[in-house]
Amino acid sequence: MKTKKLTLLVLFTLLVGVFIPISGALAWGPDRPQYKWEAPADHPTINSITNNPVLGDERSNFVQIGVAGTQKYQEELTLEAGKEYEVYVYFHNNASASLNASGVGMANNVRMSSKVPSKLEAGRRTEITGVISSSNTDPTTVWDEAYISSMETLYLRYVPGSAVIHSDGSVNGSNLPAADLFSDNGTPIGYSANYWGSLAGCNEYAGYVTYRIKADLPKFTMDKTVSRDGEGAWQEVLEANPGEIVDFKISYKNVGTTEQNDVTLLDKKPSGLEYLSGTTFLTINGANGKFVSDNLFNNGINIGMYQPSSEAIVTYKVRVPNADQLECGVNTFKNTANVVTGDGTQEDDATVKVNKDCVGGEMTKELPYSGPLDVGGAVFGVLALSMGAAYFYRSYVELRKNQNSGLDK
């Protein structure tokens, strides 16, 4: 069965197209004598039968996992954010029933423990381990693993009150204390509620423990935008006029599966933009906005706790510098905001650009280029104009002379 688990890993790797490292050298253990369903052991031993009608090889199949509520379990599963899963741990004293009357086949001080990772890294194959121990079995401790993976990083948490023992005995349906189940020492299991830790031989005394885990994904989004005052046309970059009032908006949304507490917003307003006091408003889940604080630019403001799918918007107003406070050309004001949560920090920025047109000494337009040919052409034009004027004047004088001569005749 160890070969089988390696085959499953190879198949899974081919399906997802990525390499997932194996953690742990042996999926189950220890290597021990094997027994058959029809030929049980002559001494107490746990989960050592290789042809169990339901599980097959008990050694490598006694820990499994499935989607909660389906009662279908397997050795390997890909987890998804927001879903609950159920872990299954089987126990069976393989001693022959004929040894129970004398007490020789009884397993004593039987305990079970389990280990679940609190964090499941994206693309990494991780194990859930089940361990069963007894003071007089051979071997005294056995273990097995089920494997989980995910395409995104998840956080796993135990669902309170979900650890239950299942058996044909009087322990059936009993809740097991999670603090003990997930400890190194484990919690007692058995068949009779009057004799926890005692387990007679044969399949009629076998049972299993189930408990549930929730796959959580802490995640949020945020962005920073800007608009002209009152227009609500939010954008990343705004071209404003000198002295104009503009609105900034910081948007936050919990897009994960966990509650986020103490969400804090902090804004890094650049020098030059004048904040208008009393204009910082908070809107939660679309409700009417209300003034919160003017401390956005100092220590930031705590906007509270948010359930999955909840969102918040903070807006405020600033005044752009007047023209006499600006440099010639394009003045750029980059405004950065941070959203801080217990699950990390994100930042985004929006930019205001203000153009100042300068004339005279501040900005002088470049004169057209005048080369030698241009100068020569200009001189020639002036000379030609002068010669034409002289010719016109002489012609005018001659004409007057002729007219006067005619009158004298």
pLDDT for the residue numbered 185:
96
Q: What is the mean pLDDT of residues 359-373?
A: 46
Residue 153 has which token pair?
């990083």
pLDDT for the residue numbered 120:
96
Reported as a pLDDT band with limits 50, 70 and 90, residue 394 is low
Cα separations in angstroms, 223 against 1, 162, 255, 337: 51, 39, 13, 8
Report the amino acid identity of residue 359.
Answer: V
pLDDT for the residue numbered 288:
87
Confirm if 326 and 242 have CB atoms less than 8 A apart: yes
pLDDT for the residue numbered 214:
97
pLDDT score of 57 more than 70:
yes
pLDDT score of 300 more than 50:
yes
pLDDT score of 184 more than 80:
yes
pLDDT score of 314 more than 60:
yes
* Backbone Cα Rg of the chain: 42
pLDDT for the residue numbered 248:
98
Give the residue, 13 or 313, on which the prediction is more confident: 313
pTM of the model: 0.72
Mind listing the domains of the chain with CATH numbers? 2-216 (no CATH), 220-356 (2.60.40.740)
Reported as a pLDDT band with limits 50, 70 and 90, residue 145 is very high
pLDDT in tens, 61-116: 999 999 999 999 999 999 999 999 999 999 999 999 999 999 999 999 999 999 99
pLDDT for the residue numbered 238:
97
Query: In sequence order, what DSSP letters do the residues of 119-175 get, joined into one string?
Result: EE-TT--EEEEEEEE-SSSSSSEEEEEEEEE-SS-EEEEE-TT--EEEESSTTTT-B
Reported as a pLDDT band with limits 50, 70 and 90, residue 26 is low
Q: What is the mean pLDDT of residues 306-313?
A: 97
Q: How far apart are CA 226 and CA 238, in angstroms?
A: 7
pLDDT score of 380 more than 50:
no
pLDDT for the residue numbered 398:
52
% pLDDT > 70, the chain:
81
* 231 CB neighbour count, 10 Å cutoff: 10
Most confident of the ranges 2-11, 300-309, 386-395: 300-309
pLDDT score of 378 more than 50:
no
Q: How far apart are CA 6 and CA 95, in angstroms?
A: 30
Reduced to 3 states, what is the DSSP secondary structure of residue 249? Answer: strand
Average pLDDT value for the chain: 86
pLDDT for the residue numbered 405:
45
* 208 CB neighbour count, 10 Å cutoff: 20
- Comparing 9-13, 31-35, 195-199, which segment has the lowest mean pLDDT? 9-13
- Comparing 121-125, 126-130, 197-201, 380-384, which segment has the lowest mean pLDDT? 380-384
Give the residue, 118 or 15, on which the prediction is more confident: 118
Reduced to 3 states, what is the DSSP secondary structure of residue 71? Answer: coil
Cis (ω within 30 of 0) for the bond into 139? yes
pLDDT score of 14 more than 50:
no
Q: What is the mean pLDDT of residues 175-201?
A: 98
- Specify the residue for token string 């069976």: 92
The dihedral over CA atoms of 368, 374, 379, 380, expressed in degrees to the nearest 10, equals -140
pLDDT score of 396 more than 90:
no
pLDDT score of 354 more than 50:
yes
Q: How far apart are CA 289 and CA 314, in angstroms?
A: 8
Strands lying side by side in the sheet with 76-78: 76-78, 141-149, 126-133, 111-115, 187-188
pLDDT for the residue numbered 4:
30
